[in-house]
Chain A
Amino acid sequence: MHEVDMTKCLILSMEEWAEKKNKKKIVVEKINLKIGEFTCVEPISLINTFNAAVLGSWLDSSEITIETIPFEGKCSKCNRLYFPKKENGYKSPCCNFNLEEIISGRELKIASIDFKEK
């Protein structure tokens, strides 16, 4: 359950962010995440873990939103972009080349935080 540790890191990052905003004077409505498809994160597990972890805390009323970032690679022979598939061994469909360059899909980001001042 690495989502537990990811949630811990997420909450620590939120604490750090809130210190700069004066935590007592704000209400966080949404924490908007970008999670790549080529990561070890299961979005629903992260949401459930977060919801359980923040119960009764200053983030209790906040909601996690997740934008999934597609897993995209670049064929090292012809430079075409493609969506690597496990079934195809992640090879490029154009030239059947191994996956060398990953363009997107490794993101684990807090993209933005929506909040209100009390």
Chain B
Amino acid sequence: MHLPISDKIELNILHQNSHQAEKNKVKFNNYNLLCLNIMSSPGAGKTRLLEITLEDLSKKFHSAVLEGDMTTNLDAARLEKLNIPVVPITTGRACHLDANMVSGGLKLLEKKINPDLLDILLVENVGNLVCPAEFEIGEHFKVALLSITEGEDKPLKYPIMFREADLILITKVDLLPHLNFDINELKSNIASTNPKADVIEISSITKSGFDLWQDWISKKILKFKNN
């Protein structure tokens, strides 16, 4: 046996995932397809948000969804009713999507539709405020939802998720009159964690804020396609 050798490699632990995420992004770019990674805790309203969003968005842009879920295809079945291409990705025990899963989902999507015909791919991640934040999937933007029933302190308790997000949607704001909830405190906590994030208040019941959200998406698609 020889003397020990120390090999200084300084390699990201998630290098394998990051490498696949880069490959996914190259594919999205080649298809001229904007990809959003939609993340939140379970029950914050991701699927309902997508249902309402896609009703309008599909009139202006060709859209598709990769639907991440741990055990069922229930959410994918809801979105398929909108007559857009939807690919369910069932993660099993994994509590987040990773770049390999999204690569697999994209291959299935390619069998359903030529992605050259699409403008936007919405990836609904598994409901979780911890893990999805660390695993890149090749997305262009990260969107985090936070429902007001979760409490004002969540951006401080789960800072990586809210730090990484480009846009934070505060959902279920129609419940504000019924809750002892300080939305200014929540916004202050978001600003503390991520002062650069865009923030939109939104309600899937009253549809308030959907104009701003749709406008945000439209601008991102148009800017992406013009680059």
Residues of A within 8 A of B (CB): 1-2, 4-6, 9-10, 12-13, 16-17, 27, 29, 33, 38-41, 86, 89-91, 98-100, 102, 108-118
Of the A-B pairs whose beta carbons lie under 8 Å apart in the complex, a sample of 6, sorted by A's number, is: A9-B13, A40-B134, A90-B193, A100-B195, A112-B10, A116-B4
B139 to A: closest C-beta gap in Å? 17
Whether the pair A89, B188 counts as a contact (CB closer than 8 A) is yes
Further contacts, 15 of them, CB under 8 A, given A99-B195, A111-B8, A113-B7? A2-B131, A5-B94, A6-B13, A13-B16, A33-B13, A38-B163, A41-B134, A89-B189, A98-B192, A109-B12, A110-B9, A111-B10, A113-B9, A116-B5, A118-B1
Give 1 or 0 for each of B107-143: 1 = CB within 8 Å of chain A CB.
0000000000000000000000011011100000000
Cβ of B159 within 8 Å of any chain A Cβ, yes or no, is yes
Q: Are A2 and B2 in contact (CB under 8 A)?
A: no
Asked if A13 and B130 make an inter-chain contact with CB atoms under 8 angstroms apart, the answer reads no
Specify which chain B residues have a CB less than 8 angstroms from the CB of A112 in the assembled complex: 6-10
In the complex, are the beta carbons of B15 and A117 less than 8 A apart?
no
On chain A, the residues within 8 Å of B3 by CB distance are 116
Interchain CB contact (< 8 A) of B191 among A6, A12, A98, A113: A98
User: CA of A98 to CA of B191 in the docked complex: distance in angstroms?
Assistant: 7
B13/A115 in contact, CB under 8 A:
no
Given the known inter-chain contacts A40-B130, A89-B156, A90-B193, please indicate yes or no for A117 contacting B13, CB distance below 8 A.
Answer: no
Tally of contacts, chain A with chain B, CB under 8 A = 109
Q: Are B11 and A2 in contact (CB under 8 A)?
A: no
Give the docked Cα–Cα distance between A102 and B195 (Å). 12
Bound form: Cα–Cα A5–B134 in Å? 11
Is there an interface contact between B14 and A17, defined as CB atoms closer than 8 Å? no
Interface pair A9/B5, CB less than 8 Å apart = no
Instruction: List chain A residues, Cβ under 8 A from B5.
Output: 114-117
Determine if A9 and B95 form an interchain contact, defined as CB atoms under 8 angstroms apart: no
Contact residues in A for B98 (Cβ distance below 8 Å): 5
Q: 1/0 contact trace for B2-35 toward A, CB 8 Å? A: 1111111111111111000000000000000000
- Rounded to whole angstroms, the CA-CA distance of A81 and B146 in the bound complex is 30
Smallest distance from the beta carbon of A20 to chain B beta carbons, Å? 10
Do the beta carbons of A9 and B14 come within 8 Å of each other? yes
Complex: A91 Cα to B7 Cα, angstroms? 38
Chain A residues near B9 (CB-CB < 8 A): 17, 110-113
B134 touches A115 (CB 8 A): no
Q: Closest residue of chain A to B18, judged by CB?
A: A9
Q: Which residues on B sit within 8 Å (CB–CB) of A9?
A: 13-17
Knowing A108-B14, A117-B5 touch, does A2 contact B134 (C-beta < 8 A)?
yes
